Each structure stands twice: as C-alpha cells, then as structure tokens.
Amino acid sequence: MDSQQEFETLFKDSISKVDMTPGCIIKAEVIDIKDDFVIISAGLKSEAIIPKNQFIDSDGNLEVKLGDNVEVTLDAVEDGYGATVLSREKAKRTKVWKELEGYQQSQEIIKGKVCGKVKGGFTVELMNVKAFLPGSLVDIRPSKETDYLEGKTLDFKIIKMDKIRNNIVLSRKAVLMDQNISPEDIAEKYTEGKIVSGYIKNLTDYGAFIDLGGIDGLLHITDISWKRINHPSEILKVGEEIEVVVLKYDTEKNRVSLGMKQLGEDPWDKVSKQFELDSKYKGKVVNIADYGVFVNLGDNIEGLIRTSELDWTNKNVNPNKILSIGDEVEILVTEIDNEKRRISLSYKQCLENPWVQFAEKHKKGDKIVSDIKSVTDFGIFIGLEGNIDGLIHITDVDDGNNQEEILRSYKKGDEVETVILSIDADRERVSLGIKQLADEKFQETIDKYKINDELKCAITNVSEDGITLKVDKLNIGILKLTQKELKDALEKDLYKKQDEISCSIKSFDKKNKKIVLLKK
C-alpha cells in the first residue's frame, strides 16, 4: 500500500468517528486569523473559512486565538467546490438555545442586558441571543417610566420560546412577583437606616423615584444633598444605579422614603468650628431668590444674605441688581441658628457704610442744599451724599397752621436748603429741618427788599384762612385781602396754586415772620 492509499485509509477511519450530519456540532481548531475571516480545521477534507464577525463577543472583542478549539456547526462536507462549510454562529446559537430551554423548563432566573427600546417593549441580550421583553411585563404595576432600564443587567424569567421563529419572550414582572412580599415583610426588609440600591426611575421637581425591585422609593429633593439644589437633575440622572438609606416605610401608602445625603457626613457638624459670629468670610453666590442670595461657604455649607443685608440704602433692592450667580463675595456672619440649621449673612456690612461716612463729614447745625426725592403725608425725603435719604418731618417744614397744605407745595426735584437736626448712623436716620432756618432766612429776605418793592410770587396755598405765596423759595408771603375779597376769590376761583402773580410789599410782620403783599 503506497503512502497516498495509506493516508486515505487513515482519513476515512478518522472521519468515520465524526458525526457528519448537517447541523451537528463538531470540534475544530483555529489555524489562522485574517483581517476579515478565521480559518479553522475540523480534520475533514478541507479547511473552512468563517467570517471573523462570528467570533466577536457582545463587547466587540475577538474571543479566539491561534490553536483554540471551538465548537462549530457542520453545514456541508462539500459545497460543490470541494470546500467544507462550517458555522461558528450557528453552533453558538444551537448551544445557547439548549441552555435557554433548560432555563424555561426550570423557570430559573436568568440575567440579561436590556439593549434598547422597540415597539411594545425592549430587546434583551441573553448569552448573545436577542430576546423580547414586553412593556406590560417590565414591572408589577404598569408604568410609563421605563426608559431608565436601558443598558441595565436585570433578572428575568423565560416565559416563551419559538426556535423556528427565533423568538424568546421574557418577563421581569414574574421575577418581581416571586419577590412580592406582604407589607409586614416589606416593613421588615426596609427598616429605617438600612442601605439599599436601586435605579433612578424618574425625576420630578420635588425628588426622584427609585426602582428598588418590586417597590418604588421616593428620594425627596431635600434628602438628595446637604447643599441647596433647585432640581434633582443637578445631581442625579435617570437610569443611574445609586445607594440610598431607608428613612421611613409608610405601611398605608406602601411607600419607602429614602435619603442619599444621609450616607455622607453632615456638614453642619463642622459649622461651630468653622464659623464665628461677626466674623468675615469669603464665599460664592450659588443661587438668587426674591428674598435673598445663597452663598456657598465651602464643605456643602450655605448661608443666606437677605435683601435687607444687600444694600445700605435700599432695603427691598432686587438681589439680581446687586449680585450674580458665580460672584466671589466677602460676607459677615450675623447669625448661626443650630435649631433651624441656618446661617444668616450680611453683604453690606463688608462695604463702606454711607451713614457712618455722612456722620463723619457732617454735624448737627450744618446747612445742606439738596434735591427733594419724594414728598409723603408725613414729610419730605431729601437726597444726600452716599445715596442716603434725610427726612424733613412735617412739623419741621413750617410753624404755621396749614402744614399739610404747605407740605404739598413742595415737589420732587425741587432744590431746598435745610439744616441738620440730628444724625443717627446706627438707626440709619438723618433728621433735617426747614423751619429752623426761618429766622435767618426771613431776615435775609427782608434785608433784600423794602416797602413797595414789586415782585412776582407763586401761590402755594388757597384757603379760607388766606392766600400764601412763596417769596425767594420761602413760604412767607401773605396776600392782603378783605373778607369780601377773599370770599369772592374763593367763590370765583380767582387764584390757583402754582399761579404766579405780580405783587408789591405792603409790610414786614417780624413777629410771625411773614411779608404782607398787595396784588398789583
């Protein structure tokens, strides 16, 4: 027997021991790896070429190397061209299907990765085989929030398999139903202080719902972080798996209250060591509300600057006009309330105090010429340097009986001269007076004029008591009229406030500090 015949005899003897039925699984050796395909040998007539992508795992990695023995499916010993046709993919699928059939029959729990959302549910990868998870079998209770499951590896049960249609149906609900326990058992399972993990199912303005596997827990926004946040999305993301601590289980609502910040150190424990009253510190503006500005003082500790502590001259200032988010600021600690866990801050007290500055530059008796900022029922506010206000109380405007009428003769924007009556920087008050200048001003005015001098005067008040006029910005003019003339003037409305009339000086009433005028 020559060597050729001997080889054929040995070959036939070897393959006679191999199951040559198409579709059967046989062992083969990897003998070469190319860019696009892998060459393997099963000891048959020829080597087989299999696309490389059949050897790539779910993570995109090549799962074989030279010399490895792998299981393949025999499709054909000869394909018409003398080549052996083998399939790695079919072998893997056949082996996996057998394994999955075992899970279905035993109803054993199997882990799978949720790959993505499709019509009516999700696709799930089980041992590199795609399965279908209907939306109705995702949870015990129907839920619209299911997107958070994408990419998660979860427990399932196989409830249906159809090899011909290559169809596998899963249920997560069946797993959770097996775990479904009584409220008493849940209360025991979720005892206060126990640390559990779950997936973030949904975010709302007031917190986050956590899927704990069979029951949902609520993580309130105030229990997410020790620092102030406006929305849970600043810290959390739907689909994330997080650890939380059980704060309370409500048996009536069957709801678990959860906390996340409680897993970390309470920053308030450090407050007494880090901060002192009436001391200055630096911080960063992190939030602005209508009622004030929140400042991060470090270590998740925040303080509040109320609007009244933002500006020396405007107690109700818009906080956004003073500070912006991200500003680095110096502040003074004005209060530490351990019971309410609150630190009160002042921004203005780290700035120059215009009231103190005014008190340092001025004293009682100083005369000031400034503009009227506003006129109220009780007095006149005068604009002073440093953007502060001084008040002329109605009783310090004029000594006459018609104080209210005289008060209304002053208008916003008018320039007036006043004398400082008192300065109280602590109470942020400057009291001013006009009538206190009356003697001096009256004397200056009568020194300026003489009897029968003609001048134009503005009417400041018209009443049954008479008609008063302004002479050199002072309400010291009185129009001389008989009772009949005054009555006719009132009935016929001959004189109006703000009207200017030509007059002549009749006399000077030094006792009452008035100038008696006659109409020309």
36-69 per-position pLDDT tens digit: 888 887 766 667 788 787 777 767 788 878 888 8
Q: What is the pLDDT of residues 69-79, one digit of tens each?
A: 877 777 655 54
pLDDT at position 271 is: 87
**Percentage of residues in the chain with pLDDT exceeding 90?**
29
| Helix H or strand E encompassing 127 | none
State which of 58, 93, 128 marks the end of a domain: 93
Same domain assignment for residues 166 and 186: no
* 366 and 425 both lie in a single domain: yes
pLDDT for the residue 304: 94
Domain boundary residue, one of 205, 232, 263: 263
Within this chain, do residues 79 and 26 fall inside the same structural domain, yes or no?
Answer: yes
Q: Are residues 139 and 187 in the same domain?
A: no
**Domain-located, residue 116:** yes
Q: Please count the other Cβ atoms lying within 10 Å of the Cβ belonging to residue 395.
A: 12
pLDDT at residue 13 in the model: 47
Residue 232 confidence (pLDDT) above 50:
yes
The rounded mean pLDDT for the chain is: 83
User: Domain check: are 366 and 426 in the same one?
Assistant: yes
The CA distances from residue 98 to 73, 94, 95, 110, 181, in Å, are 14, 6, 5, 14, 33
Mean pLDDT of 347-353: 91
18 lies in some domain: yes
Q: How confident is the model at residue 380 (pLDDT cuts 50, 70, 90)?
A: very high
Q: Is the confidence at residue 17, as pLDDT, over 50? A: no
Instruction: List C-alpha distances in Å: 394 to 61, 295, 465.
Output: 90, 42, 19
User: What span, in angstroms and rounded, lies between the C-alpha atoms of 54 and 4?
Assistant: 36
Same domain, 462 and 412: no
Does residue 9 register a pLDDT over 80?
Answer: no
Question: Are 315 and 330 in a shared domain?
Answer: yes
pLDDT bracket for residue 16 (50, 70, 90): very low
User: What does residue 408 show for φ and ψ, rounded to 5 degrees?
Assistant: -70, -10
Residue 438 lies in a domain: no
Average pLDDT of the residues in 111-137: 87
Would you tell me how many other CB atoms lie within 10 Å of the CB of residue 239?
A: 14
Instruction: Answer whether 224's CB lies under 8 Å from 207's CB.
Output: yes
- How many angstroms separate the Cα of 114 from the Cα of each of 5, 149, 168, 196, 203? 57, 7, 14, 22, 21
Statement to judge: residues 253 and 272 lie in one domain: no
pLDDT at 14: 44
Residue 503, C-beta contacts closer than 8 angstroms, at least 6 positions apart: 454, 455, 456, 457, 469, 477, 479, 517, 518, 519, 520
* pLDDT tens figures, 160-190: 988 777 789 998 888 887 766 666 666 677 8
Q: For residue 209, is it within any domain?
A: yes
Q: How far apart are CA 508 and CA 502, in angstroms?
A: 17
| Least confident window among 97-101, 244-248, 349-353, 419-423 | 97-101
Is 144 inside a domain boundary?
yes
CATH number reported for the structural domain that contains residue 513 in this entry: 2.40.50.140
282 is a domain residue: yes
> Of the candidates 232, 263, 294, which is a domain's last residue?
263
Residue 423's domain comprises 354-433
Q: What's the token pair of residue 7?
A: 């080889």
Using one digit for the tens of pLDDT, what is the confidence trace for 307-344? Answer: 999 998 888 889 999 999 999 999 999 999 988 888 99
Contact by Cβ (8 Å): 348, 358: no
Evaluate if residue 11 carries a pLDDT over 50.
no
Looking at the fold, whether 174 and 185 belong to one and the same domain comes out as no
- With a pLDDT cut of 70, the percent of the chain lying above it is 88
Which residues, 6 or more positions from 366, have their beta carbon under 8 angstroms from its beta carbon?
A: 419, 420
Give the C-alpha separation, 159 to 303, whole Å: 57
User: At CA 350, angle to CA 346 and CA 351, rounded to 5?
Assistant: 115
Residues 6+ apart with CB under 8 A from 190: 196, 212, 215, 217, 246, 249, 256
**Tens digit of each residue's pLDDT (9 = 90 or more) over 268-290:** 888 888 899 999 999 999 999 99
Instruction: Outline where DSSP puts E strands in 251-366.
Output: 255-259, 280-289, 292-298, 301-306, 328-337, 342-346
Is the confidence at residue 253, as pLDDT, over 80?
Answer: no
Evaluate whether residue 100 is within a structural domain. Answer: no
Residue 62 is classified by DSSP as B
Q: Say whether both 9 and 83 belong to one domain.
A: yes
CB 240 within 8 A of CB 208: no
**pLDDT computed for residue 371 by the predictor:** 93
pLDDT value, residue 494: 86
Overall average pLDDT of the 450-474 stretch? 87
Instruction: Report the b/e string of 416-442 with b at 16+ CB within 10 A.
Output: bebbbbebebeebebbbbbbbbbeebb
HEC string of 440-470?
HHHHHHHHHCCCCCEEEEEEEEEECCEEEEE
91 has pLDDT over 80: no
Please give the tally of structural domains in the chain: 6
Q: Is 326 in the same domain as 358?
A: no
- pLDDT of 180 reads 60
Contact status, residue 41 vs residue 28, Cβ threshold 8 Å = yes
- Angstrom CA distances, 507 to 77, 511, 514, 518, stand at 140, 12, 9, 9
- Looking at the domain assignment, is residue 122 inside a domain? yes
As given in the structure block, the two tokens for residue 360 are 């340092």
Per-residue pLDDT, averaged over 133-161, amounts to 83
Q: Quick one: CA dihedral 271, 272, 273, 279, positive or negative?
A: positive
Q: Is the pLDDT of residue 106 over 60?
A: yes
Are residues 85 and 9 part of one domain?
yes
Radius of gyration for the alpha carbons in the chain, expressed in angstroms and rounded: 47
User: Does the pLDDT value for residue 201 go beyond 70?
Assistant: yes
Q: What confidence score (pLDDT) does residue 100 get? A: 86
Measured CA to CA, the distance from residue 431 to residue 360 in angstroms comes to 16
* Residue-level pLDDT at 82: 46
Cα 210 → chain centroid:
21
